[in-house]
Amino acid sequence: MKTIKTNEDWNAAIQSKNAIIMFSAVWCPDCVIVKPIMREIEEEYGQFSYYYVDRDEHVELCQEYDIFGIPSFLAFSNGKETGRYVDKQRKSKEQIENFLGSLG
């Protein structure tokens, strides 16, 4: 998973094909649980490119995209949002896989 650090990184990520962007934070206990699951998911769903956004470092970006609960996921392809899995609850591997499967 590549870390998005700058606006240029963000723009490159969302312009790529089949980008999955995970919003998280180092202090988030639910995110810590999801982190090892994401390694497995990246291997199983290799058709996507995976990116990480630290919510605390990119507050304005989170506000712009209505990311108020973490971990949360946005999907983009060629600059267009193609899906979102955004809520305050912990995500299971099955739920994340269902989200990825819904992207077609």
Domain holding 27, by residue range, is 2-102
Torsions phi, psi for 102 (to 5 deg): -75, -15
How far, in Å, are 37, 47, 100, 102 from residue 74 at the CA level?
17, 15, 10, 12
Instruction: Read off the pLDDT of residues 3-25 as tens digits, 9 standing for 90 and up.
Output: 999 999 999 999 999 999 999 99
Per-residue pLDDT reduced to its tens digit, 38-76: 999 999 999 999 999 999 999 999 999 999 889 999 999
Count of domains in the chain?
A: 1
User: How are beta strands 49-54 and 2-3 bridged, if at all?
Assistant: parallel
Q: What CATH number is attached to the domain comprising 74?
A: 3.40.30.10
Give CA angle at 12 (36, 1), nearest 5°. Answer: 10
pLDDT tens for residues 72-90? 999 999 999 999 998 777 7
Q: Cis (ω within 30 of 0) for the bond into 36?
A: no
